Amino acid sequence: MRITLYRNYLIIALYFLLPWLPGQSVYAQADSVHTKLTYTVRHEFADYDEEILYYGKHDQYFTVRIYRKNGALFRTDSYTLLPKTLANGFQLDSISRIIHHGPTKIMYPSGQIYINCDYKEDALHGPFMAFYEDGTIKRKEFYKNGRLTKSQCYTPEGVEQKCEPFYQPAKFLGRPQDLQAYLNQKLASVLDGEKVRRINASLTINEIGQVVRVSVSVYTAPYAEQQVPVVGSYVQQILRNMPEWMPEKFNWKPAVNDGVTIASTCVMTIFRTYGGIQYNLSFRM
């Protein structure tokens, strides 16, 4: 059994500090304001407004500003566009070409700065500052190419305190071998490695550690595709009905973002090896 975590939880956390902010593609629209050197694209959505400012000869640099519906600035992010083909010949798709590069700021509803940091080639680089809403320093860190090198945290009164990670992923609280034995017992006759080859399950874990949603993808041989609905429904059932591995406790510790528990997702990949049923867990917001 192996548990895999995403490479930089802090980067992920900064993307999702506003839960209702969906990803949106950028398109030129009639309300674009063009100038000789740059142009701006504006979008209006139900819950927020977006402004994208392009720079550079080939529009390879751009800044995204997100506004609350009352007009207050919520956040500013800087990006750059990588070439379609890297020096090693590897080709990037349109999403992979966009990377964080430059300053990021996130604001409280009052307009006070909450987060102030910089990215270099998609990794945190330099000072990372978090503030209380009254402007006092909450967290002061320093990153070098995505690696945390120094961290100081403070109470609202300015007293230095122990720094917990800004983002802590959800965690399975049971013993890995118990979960593996449970999956082997329930799936050994279903996941044969030939007809049914692999199962991916996404478990939505709420703020108190409950699994509130399970979605399943079943990967089969072409001639066994008719088994997908039945197997998917069965896997949903056994994951929802997992025993409590620790008495009177949920099986999962919820994710924590800046000291506040939040909902997150555990992706469970289940497959067969010569040793039986195995699984991997990865966590995301």
What would the mean pLDDT of 19-47 be, rounded to a whole number? 55
pLDDT at residue 36 is higher than 60: no
| Nearest Cα to Cα of residue 21 among 80, 61, 82, 64 | 64
**Spatial separation of the C-alpha atoms in residues 43 and 30, rounded to whole Å:** 10
Q: What is the pLDDT of residues 81-119, one digit of tens each?
A: 888 888 888 888 887 888 999 999 999 999 999 999 999
178 in the same domain as 221? yes
Intra-chain end-to-end CA distance of the chain, in Å = 22
Q: Write down which residue in 119, 139, 165 finishes a domain.
A: 165
Do both 78 and 123 map to the same domain?
Answer: yes
CB distance 278 to 271 below 8 Å? yes
Number of domains observed in the structure of the chain = 2
Same domain, 140 and 215: no
What b-and-e string marks burial along 71-101, b requiring 16 or more CB atoms within 10 Å of the CB? eeebbbbbbbbeeeeeeeeeeeeeeebeebb
Same domain, 38 and 78: yes
pLDDT in tens, 247-259: 888 999 999 999 9
Same domain, 56 and 179: no
Q: pLDDT at residue 169 above 50?
A: yes
Contact 236, 250 (CB under 8 A): no
Q: Give 110-165 pLDDT, tens digit per residue.
A: 999 999 999 999 999 999 999 999 999 999 999 999 999 999 999 999 999 999 99
The amino acid sitting at 258 is D
Q: Which of 51-55, 179-183, 234-238 has the lowest mean pLDDT?
A: 51-55
Is residue 48 domain-shared with residue 143, that is, in the same domain? yes
**Is residue 17 over pLDDT 80?**
no
pTM here is: 0.70
Q: Which of 102, 132, 165 is the last residue of a domain?
A: 165
User: Residue 100's domain spans which residues?
Assistant: 2-165
Domain co-membership, 222 together with 272: yes
Same domain for 237 and 257, yes or no, is yes
Confidence of residue 52 (pLDDT cuts 50, 70, 90): very high
- Residue finishing a domain among 115, 138, 165: 165
